[in-house]
Chains A and B, each alone.
Chain A
Amino acid sequence: MQKREVLLEVKNLKKYFPVKNFFGRKVGDLKAVDDVSFVIYKGETFGLVGESGCGKSTLGRTILQMLKPDAGQVIYHGKDIANLPKSQWKDLREKLQIIFQDPYSALNPNWTVRELISEPLKNAGLSREQCDTRVRELLKLVNMNEDDMEKFSYEFSGGQRQRIGIARAVASYPEFIFCDEPISALDVSVQAQVVNMLKDLQQELGLTYLFTAHDLSMVHHISDRIGVMYLGSMVELGKSEDVFRDPLHPYTRALISAIPVADPKLGRESSRIPIEGELPSPMNAPRGCRFCTRCPHATERCREERPELREVADERWAACHLL
């Protein structure tokens, strides 16, 4: 395998939200992202999975600097962008983009499609004519009509709205897009359209994605590598097919066995690994391994000492004492 170029390197990233009491005094931290390190290679799709509240969105948004990290580095083209002054941010914004979950609330209903898509272009300093040409190009790229330029977002269906959101994200020739549950709000038959479009754009424009979704089989389908998050930390990381075929971490195993397979015969044969209880509150996460309260194999060591994410096999990383 040829040497892959690292696009983004996340090092010990932390994002804590202060929790305040009734009088506004800080009483603790909600550790949404707690010491996460990984790399994203150029041109790949990195999938993030985990239950709601595990910190997937916060991690993505912290990487994009939509949220200021409390500690750690995000290295992009050799530069640490986490500690960059605001003045140097403008060019980077064009290169790092996001697609939002809900295309119904992400688009301003008072703006036409032309205004929506040309906003990032105007910021980049394009003239009106240049903007219009580019908007036409972009609409074609996402399989929409040129006539749609003067329409408002409410005139479109969910799938079309999400395409406008995608056109907006790719407008300024970005390198990296954080797809924050881009298909969760769409109908099943439309999800496939959007996923195919994201794949096509990735090849045409050489994009790199960080992709999250509720539907784990969709993440499996689209991702090259996958990171599994639990309570703000990364518990497993590896190639998509490896993680899904042979999960190592007890949490990943339970998570993957819980996916309902769209095949009645397979479903009858397979057995689910039960996972006891529910996600503990991230405000008082367990001291040792984050998963120890629900793990069937937890030992004394798991409760005391936090396991590090380490390479347990070729290109496979897991954070578990028992491996």
Chain B
Amino acid sequence: MSNLLEIKQLRTSFSTLRGKVDAIRGVDLCVRENEILGIVGESGSGKSVTMKSVMGLLPKSAKVSADSLLYKGEDLLKKSEKQLQKYRGREMAMIFQDPMTALNPLRTIGYHLTEVIRRYRKVSKAEAEKIAVEMLRQVGIPSPEARMKQYPHEFSGGMRQRVVISMALCCEPSLLIADEPTTALDVTIQAQILDLLKQLKKDRGMSMVLISHDMGVMANMCDRIAVMYGGVLVEEGTVDEIFYHPQHPYTKDLLRSIPRPEITRGSRLQAIDGAPPSLHDLPAGCPSATRCAHATERCFAEMPAVTAFSATQNARCHLLAEKEA
């Protein structure tokens, strides 16, 4: 499998009133063809910022630098804004958590869709409408012709998310980035949307990056998982490796802290002490050192290097590196 997207040493910082904040501190990540990569992490761990950096969707206060950002072999960092426009939407598309804010309440659903289609394809208005209806049908919206004339407030949360997905798919992107696509939805609707995304991925053979904090969603959707914490990728591996053989102490703690009712009912959950670190005063060393039960002095002082455990799994931890050596 070849790599669709290859990120090397991505660093993103924001200048704020309280000084510079390093949101991403050297992330290496790749997305292969036809796979679903999951990025898990708590709020502020940098999972959304990573993908927004790649898309070039961050505000001006953000500074993005990387050794390379290869998309289909071309370095996105070397592209001008105008050239990047060609990638956004057509090659990579992104859907967001809250489908209400992603849609303009004053415009019809049909307007949203035809705008996207006409921007990227040279088609007449009537043809664009035909494509839009077809798109809505594909994402499972009943009676799409009538729905085209309706406004976002006439749609339920799940239906709105379907509209947003259909907008993202209009130009048949090779990479779909879904940033917490189901967090705002109920479980039954979440299951419908996840099934839809899986089906679309299969039908179109596209790659997907799924950003979420829900380990349950991750387990059921992803081929590979990357765990982020404090702006650093702490562990990466296939879904089975992460769930059945986690290596990094933070991944282990994270998996232990979610309830698995068959096992944990009635007993105590193993909570992780403390809170996620503030990005304003990150420790110099391993970001999870302050909450890690095994942390040594070295962990606080020095950022650990990547240790590989298999062809697909690696983690950043001093203790694991020492054990392997």
**Which residues of A pack against B, CB within 8 Å?**
51-52, 157-160, 187-193, 195-196, 199, 214, 216-218, 220-221, 240-241, 244, 254-255, 257-265, 267, 272, 274-275, 278-279
Of chain B, the residue at the smallest CB distance from A200 is: B268
Q: Are A188 and B265 in contact (CB under 8 A)?
A: no
**Residues on B with beta carbons closer than 8 Å to the beta carbon of A190:** 271-272, 275
Closest CB pairs A-B (n = 5): A260-B216, A221-B259, A192-B271, A258-B191, A192-B269
Q: Which of B24-32, B84-92, B181-189, B304-312 lies at the binding interface?
A: B181-189
In the assembled complex, 30 residue pairs joining A and B whose CB atoms fall closer than 8 Å, in A order, are A51-B188, A157-B276, A187-B42, A188-B254, A188-B258, A189-B253, A189-B272, A191-B257, A192-B272, A214-B186, A214-B187, A217-B216, A217-B258, A217-B259, A217-B260, A218-B259, A220-B261, A241-B265, A257-B191, A258-B187, A258-B191, A260-B191, A260-B217, A260-B220, A262-B215, A264-B243, A264-B244, A265-B240, A275-B191, A279-B186
How far, in whole Å, are A274 and B276 apart by their CA atoms in the complex?
A: 37
Let me know if B104 is at the binding interface, CB within 8 A: no
**Residues on B with beta carbons closer than 8 Å to the beta carbon of A159:** 275
**Residues on B with beta carbons closer than 8 Å to the beta carbon of A259:** 187, 216
Q: Are A261 and B216 in contact (CB under 8 A)?
A: yes
Q: Are A254 and B188 in contact (CB under 8 A)?
A: yes
Tell whether A263 pairs with B158 under 8 Å between CB atoms, given A188-B254, A190-B275, A217-B259.
Answer: no
Let me know if B190 is at the binding interface, CB within 8 A: yes
Tell whether A160 pairs with B275 under 8 Å between CB atoms, given A192-B257, A255-B188, A262-B260.
Answer: yes
**Residues on A with beta carbons closer than 8 Å to the beta carbon of B265:** 220-221, 240-241
**Residues on B with beta carbons closer than 8 Å to the beta carbon of A52:** 186
How far, in whole Å, are A258 and B219 apart by their CA atoms in the complex?
A: 13
Interface string of B284-314 (1 = CB under 8 A from A): 0000000100000000000000000000000
Interface string of B118-141 (1 = CB under 8 A from A): 000000000000000000000000
Let me know if B273 is at the binding interface, CB within 8 A: yes
Of chain A, the residue at the smallest CB distance from B183 is: A214
Q: Are A51 and B216 in contact (CB under 8 A)?
A: no
Q: Are B156 and A51 in contact (CB under 8 A)?
A: no
**Residues on B with beta carbons closer than 8 Å to the beta carbon of A217:** 216, 258-261
Q: Are A188 and B42 in contact (CB under 8 A)?
A: yes
**Could you say which of A157, A189, A262 contacts B271, with CB atoms under 8 Å apart?**
A189
How far, in whole Å, are A196 and B272 apart by their CA atoms in the complex?
A: 11
Number of interface residues of B (CB under 8 A): 45
Inter-chain pairs besides A258-B188, A263-B243, 7 sampled, C-beta below 8 Å: A158-B275, A192-B257, A192-B272, A221-B265, A264-B243, A264-B244, A278-B189
**Could you say which of A187, A192, A240, A267 contacts B220, with CB atoms under 8 Å apart?**
A267
**Residues on A with beta carbons closer than 8 Å to the beta carbon of B199:** none
Of chain A, the residue at the smallest CB distance from B265 is: A221
**Residues on B with beta carbons closer than 8 Å to the beta carbon of A262:** 215-216, 218-219, 243, 255, 258, 260
Let me know if B214 is at the binding interface, CB within 8 A: yes
How far, in whole Å, are A275 and B195 apart by their CA atoms in the complex?
A: 12
Of chain B, the residue at the smallest CB distance from A244 is: B261
Q: Is the interface of A mostly helix, strand, loop or mixed?
A: helix
Let me know if B175 is at the binding interface, CB within 8 A: no
Q: Is the interface of B mostly helix, strand, loop or mixed?
A: helix
Let me know if B264 is at the binding interface, CB within 8 A: yes
**Residues on B with beta carbons closer than 8 Å to the beta carbon of A187:** 42-43, 213, 275-276
How far, in whole Å, are A193 and B269 apart by their CA atoms in the complex?
A: 8
Interface centre among B187, B219, B269, B270 (most CB of A within 10 A): B187
Q: Are B186 and A51 in contact (CB under 8 A)?
A: yes
How far, in whole Å, are A160 and B274 apart by their CA atoms in the complex?
A: 9
Interface string of B239-265 (1 = CB under 8 A from A): 110011000000001110111110011
Let me know if B113 is at the binding interface, CB within 8 A: no
Q: Are B269 and A221 in contact (CB under 8 A)?
A: yes
How far, in whole Å, are A241 and B275 apart by their CA atoms in the complex?
A: 31
Q: How far is the CB of A309 from chain B (nearest CB, A)?
A: 21
Let me know if B194 is at the binding interface, CB within 8 A: yes
**Residues on A with beta carbons closer than 8 Å to the beta carbon of B257:** 188-189, 191-192
Let me know if B208 is at the binding interface, CB within 8 A: no
Q: How far is the CB of A181 from chain B (nearest CB, A)?
A: 13
Q: How far is the CB of A103 from chain B (nearest CB, A)?
A: 13
Q: How far is the CB of A221 from chain B (nearest CB, A)?
A: 4
Interface centre among A196, A217, A260, A261 (most CB of B within 10 A): A260
Q: Are B159 and A278 in contact (CB under 8 A)?
A: yes
Of chain B, the residue at the smallest CB distance from A218 is: B259
Of chain B, the residue at the smallest CB distance from A49 is: B187
Of chain A, the residue at the smallest CB distance from B261 is: A220
How far, in whole Å, are A158 and B44 apart by their CA atoms in the complex?
A: 13
Q: Are B187 and A216 in contact (CB under 8 A)?
A: yes
**Residues on B with beta carbons closer than 8 Å to the beta carbon of A279:** 156, 186
Q: Are A261 and B271 in contact (CB under 8 A)?
A: no
Of chain A, the residue at the smallest CB distance from B45 is: A187
Q: How far is the CB of B42 from chain A (nearest CB, A)?
A: 4
How far, in whole Å, are A190 and B274 apart by their CA atoms in the complex?
A: 8
Q: How far is the CB of B30 from chain A (nearest CB, A)?
A: 21
**Residues on B with beta carbons closer than 8 Å to the beta carbon of A261:** 216, 219-220
Tell whether A264 pairs with B239 under 8 Å between CB atoms, given A192-B257, A217-B261, A240-B265.
Answer: yes
**Residues on A with beta carbons closer than 8 Å to the beta carbon of B192:** 274-275
